Amino acid sequence: MNYASSIKTAGLVALPPWRSRVLFGVLLLCLFGLTVRAVYLQGIHNDFLQQKGDARYSRVVDINAHRGMITDRHGDPLAVSTPVESIWVSPQDVEATPQQVKQLAQILGMSSAEVKKRLFDTTRDFTYLKRQLPPEQAEKIVRLGVPGISLHREYRRYYPSAEVAAHLLGFTDVDDNGQEGIELALQEQLGGRSGSQRVIKDRRGHIVEDVASVRAPKPGSDLALSVDSKIQYLAYREIKLAVEQHRAKAGSIVVLDAKSGEVLALANWPSYNPNNRAKPDTRVMRNRAVTDLFEPGSTMKPFTVAAALEAGKVTPRTVINTEGGVLTIGGRKIHDTHPEPFLDVAGVIQKSSNVGAAKIALSLPPQTFWRSLSETGFGAQTGSAFPGEAAGRLRDYKKWLPIEQATMSYGNGISVNLLQLARAYTAFANDGELKGVTLLKQDVPVVGKKIYSEATARAVRDMLEMVVQPGGTAPLAQISGFRVAGKTGTAHKLEGRRYVNRYIASFVGLAPASNPRLIVAVMVDEPAGAEYYGGQVAAPVFSNVMGSALRLLNVPHDAPLDNVLMPPADIIKEEA
């Protein structure tokens, strides 16, 4: 009996012989295809397998660049970056017991639920557990030995002066990028460039070998500011005391080197601590000395007089009919706090006569007056490059009404920031040469722009000296051993289109008057109580800061030590 007969006898169906041959051929083709694919992947195009293999143990990690240090003009640190550790996890590799999760939560100051969520969130390949920990805290986490948890070296900004220079320096975010102030303005120079490195990690996520540097980090550049940290502290202390003493809303102060325009100090109160990562109120963070505009009041009168002197309309001894302290223009009245029938131009500055200033301004063609104010820097930014600096407001002269030209002469209808106002006074300190302002230390002489003749600048400076003498509006600005020149301002605040009984008290002065070295500008916003005049509120701040700063800089005296002459206390007043 043959095989086919046997199959048939057994009741089985015989398969065609060709099927086995087809199946063998298919299997042979599959084997051939697999062989070709293996040769292709391993011998010709092996990048894919190499990448998959590297992904099991190889990583490219970022290397943060060290941020440049900020120092004052003498090299004292104002902002430094300190190394810190950030804790990150690879959820796919995490192996943590409930006890380890609890310990992690205790060390990090987090809830166990939050830690557990981050550790085992497998929808992510990478997540931070917590950033910027002190080294000793990070070491405690390392000792737990939890697989999948790794350290990443970063840098955290530290500000030794804290609140004292907060508005000037600003701060950085958690990624060490500048957010405010100098940190933001000079981010490109300070920030540097991050690098990267390829490393090998074990199954626990720990780096066991550095393979290669993909890109070396480029550290940021160190910067020396123009600021003197000692004068900065003086300025901060005095403006804080003034705001608190007079229960004011806020206050600002600027100290300039009169010869170079360098900012030696800039402070505001209220302030904040940039070392505290909890974000403060944005109103506290605002650098009022640069970003806030206000009507300067009578601190504008010297520029009105300077414009008229340059145009040849008046001399210091020209007598002005001040109308007994009341002048009506277009149905509106201008008043003087201390009415006088007649004052010479020097007396207009000393007594701070609004009527006298208005008449001097109206003697000028509008275009001439506007051009003089514009050349002095009003209505334009100072060039400090500080983020958010306001340009101020100086309206086009073609749109002026006579009453507007008159009120602008004593600082109403024009707006400035405090840094801009301080800069304008450099023209009187440098015999008519207006200096630019800078926040960086200057090693070469600074060339300014000539806007007044030497005779005009010196004449105005002489008038400003009269302001601080008995009979002037600011005897409290006097300094023992130094001649002082300056001007007070007391301006009603404008709300909507109406002036209200809230005030800006200000004083801008320079010393020594014989050869000015420093300019100090003070502004106090909304002083409360009986004292709200610039001569009462801002002038004493000027005196304290200027006197201490001149002594710190060893500036020679230009007056006897007993030169301070005070009138009776009830006479120390000025214009409203």
> So which residues are the catalytic ones?
298
Burial 498-518 (b: 16+ CB within 10 A, else e): eeeebbbbbbbbbbbbeebbb
Burial 202-241 (b: 16+ CB within 10 A, else e): eebbbeeeeeeeeeebebbeebbbbbbbbbbbbbbbbbbe
Give 547: exposed, middle or buried? Use CB within 10 Å, 0-12, 13-18, 19+. buried
List 393's β-bridge partners, or say none. Answer: 415
Give 136: exposed, middle or buried? Use CB within 10 Å, 0-12, 13-18, 19+. exposed
CA 392 to chain centre: 18
Rg, the chain, Cα only: 37
State how far the alpha carbon of 125 is from the alpha carbons of 53, 89, 105, 387, in Å: 17, 8, 21, 38
Q: Which of 371, 395, 393, 353 is nearest to 308 (CA)?
A: 371
Burial 13-47 (b: 16+ CB within 10 A, else e): eeeeeeeeeeeeeeeeeeeeeeeeeeeeeeeeeee
Q: Is the peptide bond prior to 512 cis by the omega test (within 30 degrees of 0)?
A: yes
Q: What are the residue ranges of helices labelled H in 89-200?
A: 98-108, 112-119, 135-144, 166-169, 181-185, 187-191
Q: Are strands 223-224 and 70-71 parallel, antiparallel or unpaired?
A: parallel
CB 283 within 8 A of CB 345: no
> Residue 26 corresponds to which tokens in the numbers above?
């298919």
Cα–Cα distance for residue pair 470/502, rounded to 1 Å: 27
CA contacts within 13 A on the Cβ side of 401? 8
Cα–Cα distance for residue pair 181/203, rounded to 1 Å: 45
Three-state SS at 407: helix
